[in-house]
Structure formats: C-alpha cells, structure tokens
C-alpha cells in the first residue's frame, strides 16, 4: 500500500522548516508538515518575553539554504528571527505544505505501507512513508512545585508562556531562575519595575555577546557578495568550535574562558557581596554557558536584589525564602524546561507495539547518530537524543542530520514499495556506549547538576564532541547498519534481508 505522503514532518519550528526547505530544494513535492499551532515558528513563536533574542550570532543561526543578508543586529531578537522564519516559508512557497492547527497525537507504524499512520487530535488520519519529528526538545515548561504557589494573589507565569497583557510598570516583581531565558528577562524588566528580586539557585557562567547593529553597508556587501556572508558564518562557526575545545578536554582554553568570565564579572558588578554570589563554583561549560552584555550590570541598579536563599514557600503576598517574606505583585518563572529524555507529546508506537517514550523511560533517550531508533523504522528525529551543543549552533546539528535524512530517503526510494529500514539494535547500542564513554574528561562530566542530565544522571541531550565531528558522522547515510524489511506475498509476511 502506498502512503498518502512520502515524508511527514511534525513541527513547523526551525527543525521542521529546515527539513521542508531541504525537501523542496531537492525537488520533492510529496511531503507535509503538521503544526499544532496556527503559525510556524516553534520556540521563536512561543517565546515572546521581553529581551528574547538568540545567543548565537544570526549569520550562523539561520539556514544554509536561506542565508539572510539583512539582519539588523549581530544577535537578532525574537521578532526578527520569527520574521525570518516566516520569510523562509513565504519565499519558498512552503505554506501549502503545512497543515496548521493539526496536532498529531499518535503515530503508529503500519507494516503494509512500511510507514506511519498519524492521527490528529480531531481524529483525522494521514499516512506517511518516512516520519520526521521536528518537535523540539524545549517545549515543556518546568514550573517547580513550590509550596503555597496556588495561594499567591499576584500574577505568575513561565518565561515561555508570557502574558503580554500584564503591565509590569511600577510593580514588585520576582524572577526565579538565572538560566538562558532569565538572563535576558532580568535586564529588560529591571528598568520598568519598582523592584526586581532575582532568586538564584546556582550562578551561571556568563560570557559577552558583543552585540552590535549591522550597517546598511554590510547588508549591501553581503547581498552583492553572498560569499562574504558565508565566510562570516564560517568564521563564527569555527571560532565557536575552537572555544568548544575547552569543553571537550582541552584545559588551557577552559582556563582562559574562566579567567575572562571572572575578570568581566569583577569589572561589571560593583558590590563585592553580589559579585561573590554571582561567582560560579563549578567548571565553566558544565551547565550551559550564557551570553549577555547587560546581565551583570543590572545588579548595580538600586531596584534589583539578588537572593540566593532557598525558597521556602509562596504565601498570598509573595515568596518566603530562608524565613524572610519578599512581598510581590508578580513572579516570572525562568525555571527552564523538561528536556532530558525528550518527553514527546505524541505517542509513537513501533511495529512491535512498543511505545518510544516507554522504551526511553527504561534506557534513557537513545538513538543512532541522534536520528534513527532501533525498533522504530522509517522514523527520523531532528535534534534527537545527544544532538544538543554547549558551544555552537544547533541549527548546524539539525542541518547535519538532514544530510543523513536525505540519504536515508534516497535509499528508501530505491527500495520496493512498502519496504522499510530499521537500524540494527547492536549498532545503536555500540554507538551509545561509545558516546557515553566520550563524556569522560569533558566539562559535562565534571559533577554539576544541569538539564543536560536525566533523572538517572545520564547525559541524553548533548553531543560530547565538536559539532564538526557530528557533521562528518552524518554526511552519508550508511545502509549497511540497517535491516531492510520488505513485504512479500502473502501479505503481512515479512522477509528480512540482513
Ligand atoms: P534553564 O537554562 O534550564 O534555567 C533554569 C533556571 O531555573 C536555572 O537557573 C535553575 O537553577 C532554575 N531553577 C530550576 N528549578 C528551580 C527551583 N526549583 N528552584 C529555584 N531555581 C530553579 O532554562 P531556560 O533559561 O528557560 O533555558 C532553557 C534552554 O533554552 C537553554 O539552555 C537554551 O538551550 C534555550 N534558550 C536559548 C536561548 C538562546 O538565546 N539561544 C535563550 C533562552 C533559552 P539551577 O541552575 O540551580 O538548576
């Protein structure tokens, strides 16, 4: 049986759009993108908090096949990134491939099509030969279960669920958390609120962005000579790779990064006690390093207080920490996401009836090259397990994966109708054993707590080496490590060709 579409992509965020663009540019027409919201954009559509921007420079944080010569700043803000994504959709006529407000809730493998039957929340079904999940690792907000939270009379919300109708002007506000989102929110809120209390559990390592406006002359040059823009992108990429050496075991670079960050902290934060509180005690890079030009300086303001006491509870009036009440009108939770082990919001059921999430509950999230999973044929994950980076752009990772996915698809196309590929279990196991071994000696195994680790302490999110290595690993599809399964007559009898 033939599937409705050759490729079905779930999610119209950066990864899903990158996949759609790649398919389109290679001349494919039989593909569909399912998007639960009414617009594309994923994380850049949902995160609208003040100060929201990317901490990867825009010439690098953009798609290889859709470079943009017109970025207004080196580090574009959320509205501009979202506009860029919409522009990619419009210029490449991708909208006609996207089914908006189609929330896929189950994907069940069906042997007779060698692919997947997807069902949306309204009960409609679609069949696809190759399923590509671009659902993103950071879309499940984490709000800690603080005692008394329900009794709090003020407003509160998570950074990714920003209430744009709430006016912070002149209010007493708290931000809980000092991660990547919070350090952008804190400098943006501080000038407008009466008082800002920042609750910090662990200080972050903060390095500068050196953000600046890009000039008309630069735009013109990049437009006229796209190679120059490409060179800029490469320069940013390789400099980030160089710094990444400091995370994967090259100590001198790690030490220099540490000294530069500490020096900047000393220069920028005037009060020695606050400076002390902001000084991390773990190795730089172990938790995601943060990049900001204005975060530290915010703590010199009279109306900003840094609290490092543990939060006891919420009351009607505010937050009690170490027995002291901090009266508040509003609280912003910059407390991150549930990321490790990829908590997919759709059920993925393989040919043997296995549920992918249940499988991962036992083993921790695992895939082969972060992309395919044994027992779940004709499925490719974008930004799957161990494809995150602590030093460079994840767009580079998803584009590397797409090289692999395109090779996979090409191979599928040469197989008889209904045939499918399933990565061999022992190959996946060996890949993951080797991957976990590679964490040894990196900053990520230096003993800090972070969202990179799952409950069992296993790092299921990061790639433990430089991203250039991952690009090489995913450059070509490797059919030899897959079982090829094809239908024979009588129907539903599988012959397995090893
Ligand atoms: P995050 O980096 O995980 O930070 C969460 C913060 O909340 C941490 O400071 C954490 O403290 C704190 N926290 C969590 N639970 C807490 C509790 N029970 N009590 C007190 N504090 C608590 O989350 P995020 O800032 O939302 O960022 C998540 C990821 O999104 C980033 O790492 C990044 O990958 C992505 N992001 C990227 C950008 C960008 O510019 N590219 C911007 C924003 C977000 P501990 O450190 O002690 O756990």
> Would you say the C-alpha torsion 341, 343, 348, 354 has a positive or negative sign?
positive
- Give the pLDDT of residue 1: 79
CA distances from 159 to 26, 91, 125, 140 (A): 38, 31, 34, 11
- Give the pLDDT of residue 493: 43
Please give the helix or strand (H or E) that residue 238 lies within, else none.
helix 226-244
179 lines ligand 1 (CB under 6 A): yes
Q: Which of 138-142, 446-450, 473-477 has the lowest mean pLDDT?
A: 138-142
333 lines ligand 1 (CB under 6 A): no
> Would you say the C-alpha torsion 83, 85, 88, 91 has a positive or negative sign?
negative
140 lines ligand 1 (CB under 6 A): no
* pLDDT tens-digit readout, 367-381: 999 999 999 999 999
**Atom 37 of ligand 1: nearest residue by CA position:** 180
- Give the pLDDT of residue 338: 82
Q: Residue 487: name the closest of 115, 6, 130 by CA.
A: 115
- Give the pLDDT of residue 167: 97
According to DSSP, the β-strands at 104-110 and 115-120 are antiparallel
Q: What gap in Å lies between CA 312 and CA 158, rounded to an integer? A: 19
Query: For residues 206 and 183, is the Cβ–Cβ distance under 8 A?
Result: yes
Query: For residues 127 and 118, is the Cβ–Cβ distance under 8 A?
Result: yes
Residue labelled with tokens 């090829």: 484
Q: What angle do CA 4, 5, 11 make, to 5 degrees?
A: 120
**Atom 46 of ligand 1: nearest residue by CA position:** 202
Per-residue confidence at 497, pLDDT binned at 50, 70, 90?
A: very low
Residue labelled with tokens 């939270």: 149
**150 bridge partner residues:** none
Query: For residues 304 and 199, is the Cβ–Cβ distance under 8 A?
Result: no
**How many angstroms does the Cα of residue 204 sit away from the middle of ligand 1?**
10
Contacts of 61 (CB under 8 A, 6+ apart): 54, 76, 81, 393, 395
Per-residue confidence at 487, pLDDT binned at 50, 70, 90?
A: confident
Which of 52, 74, 180 to mutate to test ligand 1, by most ligand atoms within 8 A of the CB atom? 180
335 lines ligand 1 (CB under 6 A): yes
Contacts of 128 (CB under 8 A, 6+ apart): 3, 4, 5, 6, 7, 8, 32, 115, 116, 118
Query: For residues 203 and 280, is the Cβ–Cβ distance under 8 A?
Result: yes
Q: What is the mean pLDDT of residues 199-220?
A: 97
* Percentage with pLDDT > 70 across the chain: 98
288 lines ligand 1 (CB under 6 A): yes
**How many angstroms does the Cα of residue 453 sit away from the middle of ligand 1?**
13
Residue 159 CA: nearest ligand 1 atom is 26
| pTM of this structure | 0.95
496 pLDDT higher than 50: no
* Percentage with pLDDT > 90 across the chain: 92
The mean predicted confidence, pLDDT, of the chain is: 95
Which of 138, 176, 181 to mutate to test ligand 1, by most ligand atoms within 8 A of the CB atom? 181
Contacts of 410 (CB under 8 A, 6+ apart): 477
Per-residue confidence at 138, pLDDT binned at 50, 70, 90?
A: confident
CA distances from 283 to 340, 388, 428 (A): 21, 19, 31
460 lines ligand 1 (CB under 6 A): no
Q: What gap in Å lies between CA 278 and CA 323, rounded to an integer? A: 22
**How many angstroms does the Cα of residue 206 sit away from the middle of ligand 1?**
13
**How many angstroms does the Cα of residue 92 sit away from the middle of ligand 1?**
34
Residue 54 CA: nearest ligand 1 atom is 40
Per-residue confidence at 242, pLDDT binned at 50, 70, 90?
A: very high
- Give the pLDDT of residue 495: 41
412 pLDDT higher than 50: yes
Radius of gyration for the alpha carbons in the chain, expressed in angstroms and rounded: 24
* pLDDT tens-digit readout, 87-130: 999 999 999 999 999 999 999 999 999 999 999 999 999 999 99
78 lines ligand 1 (CB under 6 A): no
Query: For residues 34 and 102, is the Cβ–Cβ distance under 8 A?
Result: yes
| Pair of tokens at residue 398 | 């998803």
Q: What is the mean pLDDT of residues 306-312?
A: 98
**Atom 19 of ligand 1: nearest residue by CA position:** 201
- Give the pLDDT of residue 488: 63
| Pair of tokens at residue 171 | 């209010």
| Pair of tokens at residue 47 | 């995160």
- Collapsing DSSP to helix, strand or coil, 21 comes out as helix
Which tops the pLDDT comparison, 140 or 286? 286
Q: What is the SS3 string spanning 87-142?
A: HHHHHCCCHHHEECCCCEEEEEEECCCCEEEEEECCCCEEEEEEEEECCCCCCCEC
Residue 183 CA: nearest ligand 1 atom is 25
Whether cis (ω within 30° of 0) applies to the bond prior to 490 is yes
Q: Residue 59: name the closest of 181, 240, 207 by CA.
A: 240
């Amino acid at each position: 049986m033939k599937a409705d579409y050759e490729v079905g992509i779930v999610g119209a965020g950066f990864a899903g759009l990158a996949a759609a663009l790649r398919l389109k540019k290679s001349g494919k027409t039989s593909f569909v993108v399912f998007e639960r919201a009414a617009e594309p954009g994923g994380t850049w559509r949902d995160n609208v908090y003040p100060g929201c921007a990317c901490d990867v420079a825009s010439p690098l944080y953009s798609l290889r096949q859709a470079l943009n010569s017109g970025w207004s700043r080196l580090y574009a803000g959320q509205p501009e990134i979202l506009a860029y994504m919409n522009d990619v959709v419009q210029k490449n006529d991708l909208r006609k491939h996207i089914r908006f407000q189609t929330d896929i809730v189950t994907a069940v493998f069906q042997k007779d099509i060698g692919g997947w039957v997807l069902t949306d929340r309204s009960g409609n079904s679609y069949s696809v030969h190759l399923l590509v999940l671009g659902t993103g690792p950071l879309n499940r907000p984490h709000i800690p279960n603080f005692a008394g939270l329900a009794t709090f009379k003020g407003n509160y919300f998570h950074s990714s669920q920003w209430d744009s109708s709430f006016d912070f002007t002149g209010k007493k506000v708290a931000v809980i958390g000092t991660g990547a989102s919070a350090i952008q929110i804190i400098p943006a809120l501080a000038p407008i609120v009466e008082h800002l209390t920042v609750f910090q559990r662990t200080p972050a390592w903060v390095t500068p962005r050196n953000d600046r406006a890009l000039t008309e002359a630069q735009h013109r040059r990049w437009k006229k000579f796209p190679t120059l823009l490409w060179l800029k992108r490469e320069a940013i990429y390789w400099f980030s790779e160089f710094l990444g050496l400091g995370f994967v075991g090259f100590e001198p670079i790690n030490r220099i990064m540490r000294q530069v960050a500490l020096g900047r902290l000393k220069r920028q934060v005037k009060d020695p006690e606050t400076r002390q509180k902001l000084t991390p005690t773990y190795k730089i890079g172990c938790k995601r390093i943060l990049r900001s030009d204005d975060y530290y300086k915010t703590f010199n303001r009279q109306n900003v207080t840094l609290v490092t006491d543990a939060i006891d509870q919420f009351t009607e009036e505010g937050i009690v920490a170490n027995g002291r009440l901090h009266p508040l009108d509003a609280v912003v939770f910059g407390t991150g996401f549930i990321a490790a082990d990829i908590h997919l919001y759709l059920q993925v059921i393989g040919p043997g009836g296995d549920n992918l999430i249940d499988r991962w509950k036992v083993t921790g999230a695992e895939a082969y090259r972060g992309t395919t999973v044994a027992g779940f044929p004709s499925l490719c994950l974008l930004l799957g397990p161990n494809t995150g980076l602590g030093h460079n752009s994840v767009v580079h990772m998803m584009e590397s994966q797409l090289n692999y996915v395109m090779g996979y698809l090409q191979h599928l196309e040469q197989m008889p109708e209904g045939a499918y590929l399933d990565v061999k279990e022992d190959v996946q196991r060996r890949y993951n054993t080797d991957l976990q071994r590679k964490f040894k000696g990196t900053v990520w195994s230096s003993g800090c707590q972070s969202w990179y680790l799952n409950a069992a302490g296993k790092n299921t999110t990061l790639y433990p080496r430089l991203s250039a290595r991952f690009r090489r690993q995913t450059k070509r599809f490797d059919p030899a490590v897959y079982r090829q399964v094809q239908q024979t007559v009588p129907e539903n009898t599988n012959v397995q060709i090893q």
